[in-house]
């Protein structure tokens, strides 16, 4: 099972808890929202691959890439 599917299942479990426990409904809905956000993050991964030209170090590029796409994980291969 992939991460997105697992997160969606977790969100669904918290929605069911919200229906079954009206006293703590808002708490369970907040948890479901967190898991839905995690599912969205899991489905939106991008990978940027760059090659060093031999004269520079690829890790030095990471801050530049992160500035361009701060919400994406940066993976650099040398």
Distance, in Å, from the CA atom of 2 to the CA atom of 77, rounded to the nearest integer, reads: 24
Q: 72 with 46: CB under 8 angstroms?
A: yes
Q: If you compute the radius of gyration of the chain from its CA atoms, what whole number of angstroms results?
A: 19
Average pLDDT over every residue of 46-60: 54
What distances in angstroms separate CA 30 from CA 4, 11, 26, 39, 57, one per listed residue?
A: 18, 10, 6, 14, 43
Give the model's pLDDT for residue 67. Answer: 53
pLDDT tens track for 12-39:
999 999 999 999 999 999 999 999 999 8
Distance, in Å, from the CA atom of 62 to the CA atom of 60, rounded to the nearest integer, reads: 6
Q: Is the pLDDT of residue 78 over 50?
A: no
């Amino acid at each position: 099972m992939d991460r997105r599917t697992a997160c969606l299942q977790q969100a669904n479990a918290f929605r069911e808890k919200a229906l079954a426990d009206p006293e703590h409904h808002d708490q369970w809905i907040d948890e479901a929202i967190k898991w839905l956000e995690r599912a969205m993050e899991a489905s939106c991964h991008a990978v940027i691959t760059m090659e060093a030209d031999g004269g520079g170090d690829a890790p030095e590029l990471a801050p530049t890439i992160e500035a361009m796409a701060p919400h994406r994980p940066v993976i650099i291969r040398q």
